[in-house]
Copies of this chain bind each other. A is one copy, B any other.
């Protein structure tokens, strides 16, 4: 860890600012409809500067994916769980963490789902996240239930994807979290019916 001069420090901050501005812009308008001018304006810098830090507009996309991952706080949520507590309690906590995480990373989620059909690398990334999300929850739940692995994987995948869907289409436009709470309660209950 070499200490950074303030010049280097500021450069890193500018680069970071650009990545965040690009994420917000891509999320709002989609990649193709976002112009580099839009992004520069959103970041509060001038047009040309993007090309000082990135080779192209597309590279900003990869930089976003490098900078952010969806699974960090999910891993945290799982790590923080008390395996002795009832499964229902833990699942509720987990799904709450998932929805909270989706809200926090809303721009990233929206952008990824918006571009997934068009940009193979984004689709691959979405698949990776889903797969890893399934594996993480599987590792936690499997020891506690009796269900054929394949069936448990389907159950986990289904509940998680429908929750993402629910977030994208409904929850992210809701003003309070009340609806989500109820949705989670029912989903957990039904998930438990399947796995136990």
Contacts and interface: CB of A to CB of B under 8 A. Distances in A.
Nearest to A27: B117
A24 to B, nearest CB: 13
Chain A interface SS verdict (over half): helix
Interface residues of A, number: 38
Contact of A29 (B118, B161, B186): B118
A100 interface: no
B117 A154 contact: no
Contacts of A8: none
A130 interface: yes
Contact of A150 (B161, B165, B186): B186
A80 B25 CA distance: 47
Interface stretch (A38-46, A61-69, A187-195): A187-195
A33 B118 contact: yes
A166 interface: yes
Interface of A: 27, 29-30, 32-33, 110-111, 113-118, 123, 126-127, 130, 150-151, 154-155, 157-159, 161-162, 164-166, 168-169, 183, 186-187, 189-190, 193-194
